[in-house]
Structure 1
């Protein structure tokens, strides 16, 4: 799973506001069930290593700070809205009465299988108007579809539409799509190379699984390359 958005500067500022040392932050996180050394806190604040989801949630609790502030971006995806509210995927799924595995797949694949009842409960849990949530889910699905078309075909024809959808500069989108198209092409080259060499099916299945995982993470990779999401923070 890709690491969540994180602002090292906001994390350090939050710690200094409380007058805590990295060791004290690590100790507070350990009490929350996330045992990390003080060096990890140093690394997060230095920006050399980003925290994972559990680490981010525990860090926010330890610093008495909204998760949204530590993320340093305005939430733009279902996952980011969930994190901004301090939910794990499992806890949010249980709150809206949805199978946790189905919810996790919805986030990973950017496709919403929930019923209208699930959607209403999800909007309430995330503090969004139902129509805003539906728009978010629809936009996410459209983004995934366009990105798939771009990396699998002629990426240049999708630059303007993706730039408009993501509200990003066309030049940055073009650079991102060029890089993503190259990454995707390498999967095809690897697969065809092993196919021509008549390697065993296990190796082909491994490459196919790697490609599937890459495609699931495609929207997050695109947002990372284009810097979309914006620098604004949202207070909850």
Structure 2
């Protein structure tokens, strides 16, 4: 599983705000059962490394700050809402009475497949209001489908739908879709170039795997770019 969203600057600021030395953070995390070195804490604060989910939870507790503060954004996806409440995927699945593998697939594939009872349990565990719950579980599948159609075809015609779904300003969504469409086109160009050149099958399989991984991470990348305020994507 990929590392959770994390802000080195927020982590460093949180530690300095309460006046803890890195050694004290390590000691506090150790009391929570997560034993890491001072080097690891400093690497997180400089961005050289990113904490795992368990490390993020322990770090937030050690720094006496909400987990979303270290994530540097409000939760948007199902996984981010889970992280904000400091649930592991396995513990949340058990809490709502859902098979752990089925829950993991829901996060991985951005498609909610829970029963009504499991959905109500999810809302209770994550503290989601009805409208927020619907936004999280409905957006997952719709977002994935719309984005795939956008990058594989004519992205402009999906701009309004995606802007309403996220929600986000249409000009920003258009900028992001154009950039993602170009990235996907480059994957196809590289693949076709190797195919025409009759390169070995191993390289073609490697390119196909890269493209599949890119498509798998497309929803998260889209949300990151739409929420980025420093300027248009490059």
CA RMSD after TM alignment: 2.5
Distance change >3 Å, CA 177–CA 228, structure 1 → 2: same
State TM-score, norm by structure 2: 0.84
Residue aligning to 1:232 = none
SS in 1 for 2:97: coil
SS in 2 for 1:20: coil
Residue aligning to 2:22 = 22
SS in 2 for 1:168: coil
Q: How many residues align?
A: 229
Q: Give, in whole Å, the separation in 2 of the partners of 1:183 and 1:34.
A: 39
Q: Which runs of 5 or more structure 1 residues have no equivalent in the other structure?
A: 230-236
State TM-score, norm by structure 1: 0.83
Residue aligning to 1:129 = 129
Q: Deviations over 1:42-61 (max 9, x none)?
A: 34334555433232122112
Residue aligning to 1:181 = 181
Q: Give, in whole Å, the separation in 2 of the partners of 1:129 and 1:69.
A: 21
Q: Give, in whole Å, the separation in 2 of the partners of 1:114 and 1:201.
A: 39
Farther-moved stretch of structure 1 (162-171 vs 134-143)? 162-171
Shift of 1:125: 0.9
Matched, 1:140 2:131: no
Q: Give, in whole Å, the separation in 2 of the partners of 1:156 and 1:97.
A: 41
Question: Bigger relative contact order, structure 1 or 2, given CA contacts below 8 A and separation 6+?
Answer: 1
Matched-pair contact (CA < 8 Å) for 1:2–1:220: no
Shift of 1:102: 2.0
Matched, 1:55 2:70: no
1:88-99 → structure 2 map (5 Å cutoff): 88-99=88-99
Shift of 1:74: 1.7
Distance change >3 Å, CA 182–CA 14, structure 1 → 2: same
Q: Give, in whole Å, the separation in 2 of the partners of 1:159 and 1:149.
A: 11
Residue aligning to 1:207 = 207
Q: Deviations over 1:128-166 (max 9, x none)?
A: 235531332112222211111111111122223322322
Q: Deviations over 1:52-102 (max 9, x none)?
A: 323212211222332123223221111111000001112211222222222
Matched, 1:36 2:15: no
Q: Give, in whole Å, the separation in 2 of the partners of 1:228 and 1:163.
A: 15
Shift of 1:199: 4.1
